[in-house]
Amino acid sequence: MSTERTPSAARRYTIAVVKLVVSTTLLWLLFRRIDVPHLWLTARTASVAWLALAFCIYGLSVIAGVWRWRLLLNAQGVHMPTTRMFGSYLVALFFNNFLPSNIGGDVVRIRDSARPAGSTTLATTVVLVDRVLGMMGLVLVAACGASLAASGALPILPVWLWLAFAAGAALSAPAVLAPDGFRRLLQPLSILHPEWIERQLDKLTGVLSRFRERPAALLGCFCGAVFVQAVTVVFYLAAAHALRVPIGPWDLAVIVPLSFVVQMAPISINGFGVREATFTFYFSRLGLPIESALLVSLVPTVLVILFSMTGAVVYVARGEA
């Protein structure tokens, strides 16, 4: 048995080391080009009031995220206590920030909602739908920001973002509009484990059919996703104001969503290094120094990490530590 586990464990450790090397190398390359003591001084003299406001704004995005999740579950006839959902969401946020991947939080939400849902497949599908709608909201905000930004230094043309949004809508719509057809598309998977796959496809088809019967839930979740992304941009804007970095909301509406997309590539530890490099690239096109890019990237990240610590408190209070 140990011989079967060793290759898998070795592979996980190798991937973790590679991610750590990528993050460390990128951060080292960026920090060696700046005056670190001056960067630290600027961070220390940031407006506490504006940072506190940014912290509260981020909390608003978390509340909206819980509301979106609740909306989708209710559409499936699944009802969880609000306190339980909020606690689960906070624990998921903690896992997302302290595990070397972005899927740990999804596992928490799926586990916590699977019991009241009576089905892991249903819980998983709800979280995946939430993710897909969240991504579409992110792209839409980026497209709007790129269309309204007047800097002329955009790293991507607005038309490409609008095309990406249209493509996402076109690819995801058939799953809800024609669940049976989507099932037939996945039917070849049954060759792997016929009985089990067939049962899961039946459950998946049922979940998608219920969403088709309740389009208001999907529309509400999508609008909530757009709201979350817009609030996130305002969160970064408040942090930038605290740091006295002169960058406008429309430019942040482009760079913040794009940085989230870049972080999804599994090549770094929770986006560290990759995120900062993305901010630096865009800020340099705006004529802003590397120090500004690093501050606007790292300070909000620290605030998010601090907020996510509430999830650790919930986790310990549940007796799961």
Burial class, 2, CB count within 10 angstroms (exposed 0-12 / middle 13-18 / buried 19+): exposed
100 pLDDT above the threshold of 80:
no
Torsion, Cα 59 62 66 69, to 10 degrees, reads: 170
Region for residue 119 given its phi and psi (left: phi exceeds 0; alpha: psi -120 to 50; beta: otherwise): beta
Q: Which domain holds residue 242?
A: 2-317
Q: 36-50, 187-201, 211-225: which has the minimum mean pLDDT?
A: 187-201
pLDDT of residue 1: 41
* Alpha-carbon gap, residue 319 to 229, rounded angstroms: 33
Region for residue 115 given its phi and psi (left: phi exceeds 0; alpha: psi -120 to 50; beta: otherwise): alpha
End-to-end CA distance of the chain: 28
Query: pTM for the whole thing?
Result: 0.90
At residue 155, φ and ψ (nearest 5 deg) are -80, -10
pLDDT band for position 2 (50/70/90)?
very low
The domain total for the chain is 1
* Alpha-carbon gap, residue 75 to 138, rounded angstroms: 23
Mean of the per-residue pLDDT values for the chain?
89
Torsion, Cα 291 98 249 240, to 10 degrees, reads: -40
6 pLDDT above the threshold of 60:
no
pLDDT of residue 192: 72
Name the more confident of 151 and 185.
Answer: 185
23 pLDDT above the threshold of 50:
yes
Name the more confident of 66 and 96.
Answer: 66
HSE of 89 in the Cβ direction (CA atoms, 13 Å)? 21
pLDDT digits (tens, 9 = 90+) for 241-251: 999 999 999 99
What is the 3 state secondary structure string of 78-106? CCCCHHHHHHHHHHHHHHHHHCCCCCHHH
Of all residues in the chain, the percent with pLDDT exceeding 70 is 95
pLDDT of residue 3: 44
Residue of 194, 189, 211 lying closest to 125 (CA atoms): 211
4 pLDDT above the threshold of 60:
no
Q: 29-38, 90-99, 108-117, 178-187: which has the minimum mean pLDDT?
A: 178-187
73 pLDDT above the threshold of 90:
yes
Of all residues in the chain, the percent with pLDDT exceeding 90 is 62
pLDDT of residue 102: 63
